[in-house]
């Protein structure tokens, strides 16, 4: 396996049901992206996805950068 294939990372989605975040009864399913770093043996999570979940912002990237 060459270095380019070894360092290739792919995102995994973690489904989070809406009822875990509030008392509303909805079937909406949110997802948080994460990627495993083999070298550091750590999971890295998408902060933008958590901002979207917690703030319910329609544009979480702008919310985060502000």
Q: How far apart are CA 15 and CA 28, in angstroms?
A: 10
**Residue-range domain boundaries for the chain:** 3-58
pLDDT at 24: 55
Rounded to 5 degrees, φ, ψ at 42 are: -135, 150
What predicted TM-score, i.e. pTM, was given to this entire model?
0.58
**pLDDT tens digit sequence for 2-55:** 444 445 567 777 777 766 666 455 555 678 899 999 999 999 999 999 998 888
Strand order in the sheet with 42-45: 12-17, 29-37, 42-45
Angle formed at CA 58 by CA 57 and CA 61, multiple of 5 degrees: 75
pLDDT at 5: 45
């Amino acid at each position: 396996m060459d270095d380019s294939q070894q360092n290739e990372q792919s995102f995994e989605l973690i489904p989070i049901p809406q009822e875990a975040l509030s008392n509303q009864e909805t079937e909406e399913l949110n997802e948080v992206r994460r990627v495993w770093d083999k070298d550091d043996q750590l999971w890295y999570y998408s902060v933008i996805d958590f901002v979207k979940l917690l703030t319910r912002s329609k544009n979480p990237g702008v919310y985060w950068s502000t």
